[in-house]
Structure 1
């Protein structure tokens, strides 16, 4: 995969998996697969949460992804690409598939596609409070816009790769990124005005 920008942070999925561990997992070694699960649980869950905006959905995506990896691990041949990239693509596909399905269901029953994160009444430390503000601002974006922002900025996907994953065009990805960035800035600016 080509990085969107050389300054893009390394993906949380970028975990070097030893060949011996992969060989054991392919051979059906349960302990080896459990190790892979522990290593990739947080990155898959985080990606699914950022794309879908719902913790329960993210847990479901995590389970579906890892079951798919378990069932298809024998198909991974490497060929110059890392295991984490293969697993990440499965996670992205699962999250986007669930997002498309949920959007179809929401359209059928007339619900909008914004997510809501649970809030805690206890005051947060400053860094956590900032993260919570960003999380709430992201939750207020449409799911497709939130997905593009996350895939581009956090995972380092290019617009062409996002377009392929979302079954759209690169210009769709670019416009969602621009629109999402504007809305995110506006939402964060309005919270700063309230706290000033």
Structure 2
């Protein structure tokens, strides 16, 4: 399992107390991981309502499977894997996984005023990511932000490593087009 750059430490005694059924300890774990799980789900699903559902499903699974946690890997890595699986399962259920990218002019982000530069860049990137098909957005996020390999992504998405590679390549080209970034590397 790859290690996220967003690793979150959790005291072993807190996990141990939650494993014994201590409600207060589980609530502390929930509060500690609520935002990171929601953010991860939002990046994969691209929808706040779906991300909220993934958060709830992930925490329910955590509650039921916490006794199975052996402590041989970082807790956040273990929980993150549950969240990724739940988000991808939700996408599969919705039959939203699309392998091909189609470029539509209507998908281009619209100019909406002049917020501060960093906020404008973040908002523009968010709109561009939302314009991508769910599969492409998921692969890009898992690969670039979460650090998964193409083989790991292929396994998670029940596809081939070449699917992951092509989604990263196509998705990057699509993001460049949506963000009006010229490719300075000429092959």
* TM-score (norm. length: structure 1): 0.81
Indicate whether 1:19 and 2:12 are aligned: yes
Is 1:99 matched with 2:68? no
Paired with 1:123 and 1:189, the residues of 2 have a C-alpha distance of: 17
For the pair 1:171 / 2:162, whether they are aligned, the reply is yes
The offset of 1:124, in angstroms, is 2.9
Superposition CA RMSD, Å: 2.2
Alpha-carbon distance, 1:170 to partner? 0.7
Aligned to 1:88: 80
Equivalent residue runs for 1:124-139 within 5 Å: 124-139=115-130
1:70 and 2:63 are equivalent in the alignment? yes
Matched, 1:43 2:36: yes
CA offset at residue 11 of structure 1?
2.6
Per the TM alignment, residue 82 of structure 1 is displaced from its structure 2 partner at its CA by 1.0
1:44-102 per-residue CA deviation (whole Å, 9 max, x = no partner) reads 111111111100000010010011101110000022x1111110010000000000111
Gaps of 5+ in 1: 4-9, 191-196
How far apart are the structure 2 equivalents of 1:44 and 1:84?
A: 10
Equivalent residue of 1:189, what SS? coil
Unaligned runs of 5+ in 2: 182-187
Question: 1:127: Cα distance to partner?
Answer: 1.0
1:60 maps to 53
Aligned positions, number: 171
Shift of 1:122: 7.9
Note the C-alpha offset of 1:31.
1.3
Match of 2:185 in 1: none
